[in-house]
Each structure stands twice: as structure tokens, then as C-alpha cells.
Structure 1
Amino acid sequence: MKVFHAFLLSVVAAGVLMFPAMSSAASLEPVDSSGVQIQRQEQNGITYLSGGIGEDEAKAIQQSTGYNLHMTFSIGTEGKYVPDVELAIQSAQGQSVLTLSQAGPLVYVQLPAGKYTVVATRNGESKRDTTDVGSAGVRNLVFNWKGDE
């Protein structure tokens, strides 16, 4: 039984280390708004938030509601947040829906229900994912690049 508990503890610890953004996502701690510069923005009729540099800014975004696509950008095995991502979201028909430069490390978007392709590029390396955003619930996408820690 001790072996099982030790194994279970190591699995939980590894999960927290691998996905730090998710472990803090549920944080309801108060945010010091004096250091937060997050503003709701709009492009092509699509509302979004981009930022999360610093703990208070990250908490402010994570506590935001009304966004059905949440994206996190990070590097390395520790999942260190990075704010320098080129982001492109396209509809299933290939039409550009949202294009951002220097996005992240957190980007929350309110999209109409539908299928989308998301391409996140950092230092010339692109990561691609597809998602089906419904009218209810939140889709979470995590983009992680190996290098330069």
C-alpha cells in the first residue's frame, strides 16, 4: 500500500509540474489590479484577451468569463509562459478569423460555434491544432515548444 501511495503522489506531482498553467487556472485569489493592463480587444468582430505576464495579470485573465477558447503558450518541460507567439485562427472554410502578433502567454477568445484551425508560431516553429467550439463550455488548447529556457 505504501508503494501505491508513493506512486500516486509522484504521478500527481509530475502532473502539477508538467501543467502549471492548469494548476493555477482555478485560482480565485484576489488580483492586485494596479499591475494589470489587460483590456478586452476586438478584431473582425471577435472579442479576445491576450496577456498574462506576471502572476496578477495571469490570474485576471484566468478569472475572466465569456470566452469559449482558452490558449496557453509555454516552453520547456516546466511550462514556462511565453508572450511572443504569432497566432492565427481560421474557420473550417479557411477564412482568417483572428490574427495576433506577440500574443500570449494566455489568449482567451469568444468565437461563434464552429470548427477552427489554430496555428501558433514561435521562433519560426509552428504548432497546429483543430478544435470544435460549441455554444456552451470552454475549449482549452496548450501549445508548448521545447527549447530556449
Structure 2
Amino acid sequence: MNTSHKPSRLAGALAAGCLAFATLSAVAQNLPALPPVQQQGQVEFLTGGFGADESNAIKAASSQYPLALTFSSTQGGAYVANVKVRITDARGNTVLDTTGGPYVLVKLPAGRYKVSATFNGKEQTRQLSVPRSGTARAGFTWNT
């Protein structure tokens, strides 16, 4: 009897069951879905957060991402989107180049990064260290 396919079928069935359970649990609790996870090269990220439900969901998920960015305005602390985000590694290689906000969560390996964020033609940069565990957080605020 050939049993070589049983482990992969079992793993697939378990994964599908877990996903279905998580989805049903979220629906039953009226939890908002996170924005879709995107991928650029080796980097996974998500962006969004307008509206209280999505904003709360992203905040809750931020601890699962090594880098969390937040974009806002000095005008009443309003959040802003359409922020051009460019992240480069210690060697100057671009690891993420996207537009988003008001929140951007990024899965990056531990290390030093330069984050450039541009809103309405005004660029800000930060040098950040992404830890091996935990989350590095940075907020960018523009005078609008």
C-alpha cells in the first residue's frame, strides 16, 4: 500500500479546516477582515486602515509583523493614505516600493533599514532597526 500521499493530504485537510474555522470565528464575532497581504519580492506586507474596524484589525495584527508604519497629518491627527513608501536595506537595495497607508505592516528579516515616506511631495526618512522578535514602529506626520 502506497502511503506517500497521506501526510500531504492530511496537512492540506488540516490547513483548510483551520482556515475555515478562523473565517467562521471572525464572521461569528463580526471581526473585520484585514486588507489582503501583498508580496513584493521576498517581502510580505499589507496596507490600509481607513475606518475604525479595519484600523483596529490592523493594530491587532501589527504584533505579527516586524515593522509597523503609521502615517498622519498635523490637522487634528487625521490619518493619511497615498503615501509613497520606499524601504532599503543596509546595502541600499530596495526591498519594498509601494504606495499605501495610513498603516503599512511589513515582514522583514532583522536588520537595519532606511524608510522613506513621501506625502504631497514632502519626503521624510527614518533609519530603523528591525528586531529578531517584536515589532519596530515608526510614525510619520506631515503638516497639511
**TM-score normalized by structure 1?**
0.73
**What code does the residue aligned with 2:77 have?**
G
Q: Pairwise CA RMSD of aligned residues?
A: 1.5
Larger Rg: 2
Contact 1:31 1:56 in 2 (8 A): no
Corresponding residue of 1:133: 130
State the SS of the aligned residue for 2:114.
strand
1:99 aligns with 2:97: yes
Contact 1:48 1:109 in 2 (8 A): yes
Which 5+ residue runs of structure 1 have no aligned equivalent? 1-29
Distance 2:124 2:30 in 1: 31
Query: Residues 72, 144 of structure 1: CA spacing in aligned structure 2 closer, same or farther, 3 A cutoff?
Result: same
Contact 1:31 1:60 in 2 (8 A): no
**TM-score normalized by structure 2?**
0.75
Aligned match of 2:58 in 49, 56, 61? 61
Distance 2:77 2:139 in 1: 10
Which 5+ residue runs of structure 2 have no aligned equivalent? 1-28
Distance 1:66 1:47 in 2: 12
Corresponding residue of 2:24: none
Corresponding residue of 1:87: 85
Distance 1:84 1:115 in 2: 25
Q: Deviations over 1:107-137 (max 9, x none)?
A: 0111001100000001110000010111111
**What code does the residue aligned with 2:85 have?**
L
Q: Deviations over 1:7-55 (max 9, x none)?
A: xxxxxxxxxxxxxxxxxxxxxxx6642xx46111111111111000100
Structure 1 stretches (4+) deviating beyond 3 angstroms? none
State the SS of the aligned residue for 1:58.
helix
Distance 1:42 1:62 in 2: 20
Q: Deviations over 1:75-99 (max 9, x none)?
A: 0153210111000000011000000
**What code does the residue aligned with 2:141 have?**
N
